[in-house]
Amino acid sequence: MESGKPFARIPIPYGSSSLDLILPEERIAGVLRSRVNDLRPEAAGGELVRRALEAPVGSSRVAELARGKKRIVVITSDHTRPLPSRVTLPPLLEELRRGSGCGDGEIALLIATGTHRPMTREEQVARFGEETLRRVRVVMHEATVEEEMVSIGRLPSGGPCEINRIAAEADLLVAEGFIEPHFFAGFSGGCKSVLPGIASRSCVLGNHCAEFIGHPKARTGILEGNPLQTDMLFAGEAARLAFVLNVVLDRDHHVVAAFAGHRVKAHSAGCAFLRDLASVTAAPAPVVVTSNGGYPLDQNIYQAVKGMTGGEAACIPGGVIVMCAECRDGNGGERFVGEFRNASGPEDVLARIGARKRDETLPDQWESQVLARVLSRHAVVLVTEEKNFADARTLGLIPAATLEEAMARAEARMGVAAPVLVLPDGVAVIVEPAGTTERPTEGTFVA
């Protein structure tokens, strides 16, 4: 360090801990954080959830909806999402039981894995707790098991709308989830619990086609005009998703706000609330340092692409994104990496995927497509475990064992005095470049 100059120390989430970015203060162009972490809720998370359930948006209370229902299904998130179900699920189950009169074991908990792997027993216990698991029937959605899928129509995009049979045959279908900015769906939560959450493989592939992922409205914070959301809304209605409980979380995954009620109206209210807190503005910088907010969102390189898109929105063309992601579980899937094998570069990957029609979509190509888009505009240095270096190189990333090494690589490209913009949690913010005259559509997508 140079003597006489003030330095800043900025923690960057990494796995279950953090890395310290240490730079001269004069080089820091800005530190962009969601203001969600500044909230001081007037009640604990469980109480916020209860209040939301007692005053639903655009809907009767879920206890009233459950009256007389015998086959109740609750969709919930899988291990790739930090939803604090030990806090959110008990009040929801209590309301459902009070309305329906269902006893223990008569409510099914459908885990929305989308196209991810199933949750392990240990992960289920950590997420839900032994008591909850004893009182409900747990069903793991497996998108590739065709006999467990039921057709409920055709999506606006033309693809099949197929969902898990248990959900399709439910007397009452509800969902719990959380709202965060999403790199191509706009926001998580709402009808995303149905598509891709409990949809068939072919349904997910059609919705995640190259045409839609490449659409200019398929970006963080945009709902209206987003073709993926159009399909998701249809799937939610066709599935008869009657009620949602969506929460907003801080950096420690504590509930700071809760929204319950109609699948679209409650979700829209939550998205509007979060947009006000998550929107950040900055002039693009030559170097951007970011992360996926730590574990579980940085558990593999596949998931880490999300944080890279936050860096993409804040970096100048030709600049360097330093992405901090532990990736303890490796690359996230051979199909994701496979798109880059034998490719001449990101442009080649984009051309190959872009040539595929909606019904020719391959599993995980959307993540490869977004990564290739980022790499076609920026160099990305990935701070990760050494076991991931070979896969990182195959994907066109520059691996680094430490944040200091990564910064040295960025400075070798952009200069030792290059300004640095810091997004400690790249998936928590909606980056709008300074000078933008047209804001993305607000989170008020009401059917």
Angle at 132 between CA 147 and CA 86, to 5 degrees: 105
Tell me, yes or no, if 116 is annotated catalytic: yes
Angle at 252 between CA 34 and CA 139, to 5 degrees: 110
Backbone angles phi, psi at 366, to 5 degrees: -65, -40
CA distances (Å), origin 63, targets 9, 93, 279, 425: 49, 9, 35, 37
Tell me, yes or no, if 208 is annotated catalytic: no
In 3D space, the residue among 396, 353, 378, 359 whose CA is nearest the CA of residue 214 turns out to be 353
Helix or strand run (H / E) with residue 73 = strand 72-77
CA distances (Å), origin 371, targets 204, 238, 349, 350, 368: 19, 32, 10, 9, 5
Whole-angstrom Cα distance, residue 346 to residue 29? 28
The number of CA neighbours under 13 Å toward the Cβ of 345 is 6
> Could you identify the residue written with the tokens 């970006």?
219
In sequence order, what are the residues at sequence separation of 6 or more whose Cβ sits closer than 8 angstroms to the Cβ of residue 373? 214, 312, 346, 350
In 3D space, the residue among 244, 219, 243 whose CA is nearest the CA of residue 229 turns out to be 219
> Given phi > 0 = left and psi -120 to 50 = alpha, else beta, which region is 186?
left
Q: What number of other Cβ atoms are within 10 A of residue 322's Cβ?
A: 27
Q: Where are the beta strands (DSSP E) in 167-206?
A: 172-178, 181-182, 186-187
Helix or strand run (H / E) with residue 242 = strand 241-249
In 3D space, the residue among 202, 175, 184, 252 whose CA is nearest the CA of residue 358 turns out to be 202
In 3D space, the residue among 113, 96, 231 whose CA is nearest the CA of residue 170 turns out to be 96
Please identify which of the residues 116, 253, 267, 378 carries the catalytic annotation: 116
Please identify which of the residues 141, 182, 208, 378 carries the catalytic annotation: 182
Q: Residue 380 is which amino acid?
A: V
> What residues are labeled active site?
116, 182
